[in-house]
Amino acid sequence: MKYIAIITGFLIIGCGATDNQQAPKLETAMDSVSYSIGVDIGKTMKTQELDINDKAMFAGWSAAFNGEDLKLTEEDMLATLNNFRKVMQEKSQLKAQQQSEENLSAGEAFLAENAKKEGIVTLESGLQYKVIEEGSGETPTEKSKVTVHYRGTLLNGEEFDSSFKRGQPYTTPVTNVIKGWTEALQLMPVGSKWELFIPSNLAYGNSPRSPGGPNSALVFELELLSIE
């Protein structure tokens, strides 16, 4: 079983938690490597909410490392770990589904209230926008390449990306972005700055990689600088 990196990290965690031993000194480069692996594994375990028995974990590592008799056969351990992976996968899928449903509901409620505000335009697709500055230049088509500045936030105002902050505009074909952008860009004259309120189906949909998680509605400040 190929768990060398994980077990190395577990050693650090196990040592720190067994018999209240003092944490080892980091005197060599390998000491620092070992400690860093332990921290990384610890963070991963915490994020995944793994309820690990650190003493049993360290006992298993010690027995294997020192060539002692194991309390479980290889077959038993393989079956145990395979079952554990299955349980964790099901737990992860359930959590993602719950988050997806919560995000979808929150997005729908937000957009419904937002539509009542002054200056908000709601399109048939569900995309909402508010004109901050109205430009007077040309309007892109779906075949255009545009240069824009943007700032993306979650519904709670948390920023997840910003070309403004990087100080570098973003150039892209109109159709190589999320659907909400594609639709809005074809309505914006060059020089315009709009605030977009994008439902999840026009953003990243149910993708777990979506900012804010699956089915998140997103808010963008989008400024159209030029058309190429």
Active-site residue numbers? 150, 160-161, 178, 204, 220
State the DSSP H helix or E strand holding residue 222, giving kind and residue range, or none if neither.
strand 218-227
CA–CA separation, 197 and 217 (whole Å): 7
Sign of the C-alpha dihedral computed for residues 114, 120, 123 and 129 taken in this order? negative
DSSP type of residue 200? G
- Residue 117 makes CB contacts below 8 A (sequence gap 6+) with 130
- Of 201, 196, 199, whose CA–CA distance to 220 is shortest? 196
